[in-house]
Amino acid sequence: MKLNRNAVGWLNVSPLLAVMVPFFIVPIIVVFIASIMQTDGFGGMFWDPSLENYSYIFKSDLTYRLYFETVKFAVLTLVFSAFIGFWVAHFLVFHVRSKLLAMGLFLVCTVPFWTSNIIRMISWIPLLGKEGLINRALIAMGAIQEPLEFLLYSDFAVVVAYVHQLTIFMIVPIFNSMARIDKRVVEAAVDAGASKFDIMRYIIVPMSKSGIALGAIFVVSIVMGDFFVVKVMSGGGTASVVGAFYEDIGVLQYPSAAASAIILTILVMLMVAAILRIVDIRKEITQ
């Protein structure tokens, strides 16, 4: 029996559809419907479709401040994790000669991630606190008189925790794309008299772009959708987009929380689209 081309195509995408439709499309539709309904203030929802929930969100200064904070954390985390991730991957690919050792070291990078996110985040607290290890050491050395308060319950602490949690999402794809760079290309460039900087600029960075882009997608979407790290590490000193609508749900304001969720989803999709626009991952990977 021979299937026609169309049927083969549908069969090919069916596993993806089987996942996307029930776990993404349907929930998004449900959330969207909730977002245009109205609430009675006691958890009850009734059908009186309007975009009022959306216009309320767009009219509120709070929305913009929350997005500013959350995007700020996403960008800072992206910059630091990309920088660290790039150099770790570079070291593993170009400086470790034995493939086996490189693989071994690569696996070592994943060891901290065998513990839970929460434990890894919380373990920063005794280190960064007013009476934490760093402050005590600095005071004992006489470098400072008063403990540095910005270390914990601050934006700094939030970024530290995010970078710690998410750098692995940079290392893996960058390592993967760098490992596929043909070493002979680098050798040829050296022979032709290229400087180290040129090699980096014209060969390694362009050829690792797809890895950086993939890592960026992970980092951005995770930070945008998180509220727990911000809550704990900032000591409640700042808020996040998701944290705010989680609190809406706490007082049973489902429609406005749903509207916020839809807006966030659209925004994250736009950010991912922008990343893909800058780097054509499909083209890079199939090369």
Q: How far is the CB of 45 from other proteins (least distance, A)?
A: 11
Enclosing H/E stretch for 39? strand 38-39
Does 65 contact other proteins by CB under 8 A? yes
- Amino acid making up residue 136: R
Report how many residues bind other proteins under the rule CB under 8 A.
36
Token pair listed for 153: 């319950």
Q: How far is the CB of 24 from other proteins (least distance, A)?
A: 21
Stretch that binds other proteins, among 75-83, 217-225, 244-252, 265-273 (CB under 8 A): 244-252
Does 131 contact other proteins by CB under 8 A? yes
Residue with Cβ nearer other proteins (163 or 230): 230
Which DSSP string do the residues of 60-97 spell out, in sequence order?
-HHHHHHHHHHHHHHHHHHHHHHHHHHHHHHIIIII--
Which DSSP string do the residues of 187-254 spell out, in sequence order?
HHHHHTT--HHHIIIIIIHHHHHHHHHHHHHHHHHHHHT--HHHHHHTTTSS--HHHHHHHHHHTT-H
Residue with Cβ nearer other proteins (94 or 228): 228
Does 46 contact other proteins by CB under 8 A? no
Token pair listed for 41: 């203030």
Does 256 contact other proteins by CB under 8 A? yes
SS3 (DSSP) at 134? helix
Does 280 contact other proteins by CB under 8 A? no
Does 62 contact other proteins by CB under 8 A? yes
**Residue numbers of the site for other proteins (CB under 8 A)?**
41-44, 60, 62, 65-66, 69, 125-126, 129-132, 149, 152-153, 231-232, 235-239, 243-244, 246-253, 256
